[in-house]
Structure 1
Amino acid sequence: MTDQQIIQFKNVTKQFGDDQPVLNEVSFEIERGKFYTLLGPSGCGKTTILRLIAGFMEPTSGEIYFDGKLCNHIPANKRQVNTVFQDYALFPHLNVFENVAFGLRIKKLKNKVIEEKVRQALSFVNLGGYEHREIKEMSGGQRQRVAIARAIVNEPEVILLDEPLSALDLKLRTQMQYELRQLQRRLGITFIFVTHDQEEALAMSDEIFVLNKGKIQQSGTPIDIYDEPINRFVADFIGESNIVKGTMIEDFRVAFVGQQFECVDQGMNKNEPIEIVIRPEDLAITSQEKGKLKVTVVSQLFRGVHYEIIGQDAAGNEWLVHSTKKAQVGDQIGLDFEPEAIHVMRFGESEEDFDRRLEAYAEDDERE
């Protein structure tokens, strides 16, 4: 474990009774001062990871290290971690000041120290002057900031956030995404954020762990995960995708929908079965004569900044297109794309195999 790493999971499994494991031999590292997101559908294990870090439960097997020390059996109140819950868990009978001061009073700090720390925490979350406001008088966004102030006032090394934006309306949720990210950068504290909203994860994170069925499918920066999904689940869960089966003819050449195309992938077996991903924004509408794909428009929706168009090719494959160009249902159009828009996925490839393949690409580029 390096000095930069603050949390490490080694082959951690969590199982309740004879049920299927909620987490199955999960391993990862968390570095100091970064914003991490645990992303996945309901029941994938992301909240279980949060609870294991917080000390609310112990792993069935495996090891959890905090700052280099094994912490499997260390209780929650002995860990340098604070949690912001989905419902904020504020005390309705206490005002803003007393909600934030609650943990400090349990520690029996002097009143002068408590007052200074609370006012500083409220200032960090832009709630200076709200000390005597009742919780029932606060908006949803303000309550969330009170919960964060209560978390940071204890000066933890890690803040855990369990879907804290889920109860907010869309506009406020977007605003709070920016505020949370800016707050994390100002504080320099490690944030671990749980969500099932992929757009939220892409917008806020330094690194994302994508989970499914108790395993980490892929980890990396938002750009890495969006541009280089490792398998169908990640490609389909992160953003919107067009996914079709194909064949890797040879390095830099693939075949799908009965045609061959130039691509940028290499290092696979000749004629290996693969899956192809093309993002909707990478498809450009053109004439049928100029298009690499020929489709008939079957639906169109206006999404504000773009049109969402679905076209169907002669083989029955549907292609989702995001374009500023308008089309009409029934139009026959062409779809064009660059070789870089084609992302090739191997069937059953693990994240370790995927990383080794990317490293091989980088070494080839350096040699060239």
Structure 2
Amino acid sequence: MGENAIIRFDQVTKQYDQDEPVLKAVSFEIERGKFYTLLGPSGCGKTTILRLIAGFIEPSQGSIYLNDVKINKVPPNERQVNTVFQDYALFPHLNVYENVAFGLRIKKMKNDVISEKVSEALRLVNLEGYEKRQITEMSGGQRQRVAIARAIVNEPEVLLLDEPLSALDLKLRTEMQYVLRELQQRLGITFIFVTHDQEEALAMSDEIFVMNQGVIQQSGTPNDIYDEPINRFVADFVGESNIVPAVMIEDNLVEFNGRRFECVDQGLRPNENVEIVIRPEDLEITSLEQGKLRVKVDTQLFRGVHYEISCYDESGQEWLVHSTKRAEPGSMIGLQFEPEAIHVMRFGETEEEFDKRLESYEVSGHVT
């Protein structure tokens, strides 16, 4: 276990009856004091990981460690872990104060200690003065803050958050993202956050685990995940992407759209079939003469800060462009991009193989 790791999964599998495993020999470490996000579509296994950490279920195979102690059989109430649920799980017959104080009363703390801890927890989530308010009188965002206060008042080492913002409207979600991120940084508690919203994950996290079909596809910082996706699933799930079949001619040279282009990727086999990713914001609209690609505009949508433009090249390949420039449907335009904008993905590459290949061209001075 790493020096700063607080949680470790070692080849953990979870299977119900004879069904396909929902988690397949997953191994990872969670470092103390960071904000982690488990990101992926419904049914990928992310909530299962949370339930295993919390102790609500046990692994079918493998081992789970908290502070270097195996906790497979340790009951939930004996783990320094608290959970904030999607539906808040508040007690409607208790007011705000009693909801937050509930866990402390179970521990039979003195009333003056409970009062001090509850007041501090409510202050941290900006609910001072709401102690006597009934839960039924509060908005969704306020209820979520109460649920968070109830979780942090117990001073857990790890706070688990199971899609806690999914029931909120867009404005409240954004507000709560700031609240959670600021709270985590202030308290220094390890947060493990579950979501299927990639924008939420990118905005809030120190580290992201992208999951699909019971497997962690890729882990890394938001920049790592967005700029260096390991495979088509990650590239397509995290942000919008242009994913195009290509051939890696040699180091720093890739062929697609019938032409060869400079890139920064290395470590692939000569003439290997690959896929390339270019993010829509990395494509610049220019004249036909200056463009590396010649495309015909199909649709143009205004998204507030940019235009989202769909266009097609001569081969029928669709290209998505995000630009502050307009491009009228039916017109021909050129698309320009830098070598650093091209990210090459190898078919079937593991995360370990990808990391080694990435290191090879970071060491040589090429960092994308």
The TM-score normalised by the length of structure 2 is 0.98
Tell me which moved more, 356-365 or 289-298. 356-365
Residues 1:101 and 2:101 are matched in the alignment: yes
1:226 alignment partner in structure 2: 226
* Cross-structure match for 1:275: 275
Partner of 2:161: 161
Cα distance in 2 for partners of 1:157, 1:306 equals: 42
2:53 paired residue number = 53
CA distance in 2, matches of 1:119, 1:200: 29
Cα distance, 1:280 vs. partner?
0.1
5+ unaligned residues in a row in structure 2: which ranges?
A: none
Q: Which runs of 5+ in 1 are unaligned?
A: none
User: Distance in 1 between the 2:364 and 2:281 partners?
Assistant: 29
Cα offset, 1:140, TM superposition? 1.1
Q: 1:228-267 residue pairs with structure 2 within 5 A?
A: 228-267=228-267
Partner Cα distance (1:323, 1:105) in 2: 56
Residue-by-residue CA offset, 1:51-81 (whole Å, 9 max, x unaligned): 0000000000000000000000001010000
Give the Å deviation of 1:175: 1.0
Matches within 5 A, 1:46-85: 46-85=46-85
> CA offsets, 1:14-36, max 9 Å, x none?
00011110000000000111000
User: Which shows bigger deviation, 103-112 or 236-245?
Assistant: 103-112
Q: Which runs of 4+ in 1 moved over 3 A?
A: none
Tell me the equivalent position of 1:196.
196
For 1:139 and 1:47, locate their aligned partners in 2 and report how far apart those are by CA, in whole Å.
25
Q: Where does residue 343 of structure 1 map in the other structure?
A: 343
CA distance in 2, matches of 1:321, 1:360: 30
Structure-1 residue corresponding to 2:149: 149
Return the alpha-carbon distance in structure 2 between the equivalents of residues 48 and 229 of structure 1: 24
1:21 equivalent in structure 2: 21
Q: Separation in 2 of the partners of 1:154 and 1:50?
A: 18
Which residue pairs with 1:86 in the alignment?
Answer: 86
Letter in 2 for 1:205: S
How many residue pairs get aligned? The number is 366
Q: Deviations over 1:247-266 (max 9, x none)?
A: 00011100001110011111
1:174 and 2:192 aligned: no
State the match for 1:304 in structure 2: 304
> 3-state DSSP class of the match of 2:364?
helix
Sequence identity of aligned pairs in percent? 75
Secondary structure at the aligned position of 2:365 is classed as helix
What's the offset of the Cα at 1:187?
0.6
- What amino acid maps onto 1:246 in structure 2? A
The match for 2:212 is 212
Deviations 1:302-347 (A, max 9, x none): 0000000001011000000000001111011010000000000001
Q: Is the 8 A contact 2:266 2:360 kept in 1?
A: no
CA distance in 1, matches of 2:151, 2:176: 16
After TM superposition, list the pairs within 5 Å mapping 1:275-294 onto structure 2: 275-294=275-294
